[in-house]
Amino acid sequence: MKRALTPGTFDPITAGHLDVISRAAQLVDELIVAVAVSAKKKPLFSLEERVALVKEVTRDLPNVRVEPFDELLVDFARRMGAQAVVKGLRAITDFEYEFQMTALNYQLETLFIMSTPQHMYLSSSIVREIASLGGDVSQFVPPCVNEALVKRYAELHAAQ
């Protein structure tokens, strides 16, 4: 069985992430979406919330499963029995960073999937920024993620 994983913080998962996940799932027997704790990034959503959102938006992809992780990627991949890591690339800056990570994780095969033109500009941080200012991000994220963003920012604004 060919098993790969695609890691990320997914805070929140975007249409770009989902596109890469869907395309990667066509290349392997099983794809594990590895949701990183990423405490240094101070995520908007908890790990449990991010895992639940990713599970919701990938539920129609039968060979995709979602797992949280808080360890070195290479160790997690080995523990999961993954032979490869799949990464999405948007721009040259993504490539430079991912090239460094690939060198550090040299024990794993790394597959790169280029973002489609409509997703090349899209990032979770841009989505969070627009949503935090009350902007409409419904074209950038799945409906359940849009609802979660609206709710979270309403809670944060009410607490101020």
Q: Given this model, what pLDDT does residue 112 score?
A: 83
User: How many residues does the structure list for the chain?
Assistant: 160
What is the arithmetic mean of pLDDT over 134-146? 97
The rounded distance, in Å, linking the Cα atoms of 59 and 16 is: 17
Condensed to tens digits (0 to 9), the pLDDT of residues 60-75 reads 999 999 999 999 888 9
Condensed to tens digits (0 to 9), the pLDDT of residues 113-128 reads 988 888 888 899 999 9
Where does the pLDDT of residue 31 fall: very low under 50, low under 70, confident under 90, or very high at 90 and above? very high
Q: Which residues does 18 contact at the CB level (< 8 Å), separation at least 6?
A: 57, 58, 142
Q: Given this model, what pLDDT does residue 109 score?
A: 81
Q: Which residues are catalytic?
A: 17, 41, 90, 124
pLDDT, the chain, mean: 90
* DSSP symbol at 9: -
The single residue listed with the structure tokens 């240094």 is 40
What is the arithmetic mean of pLDDT over 4-27? 97
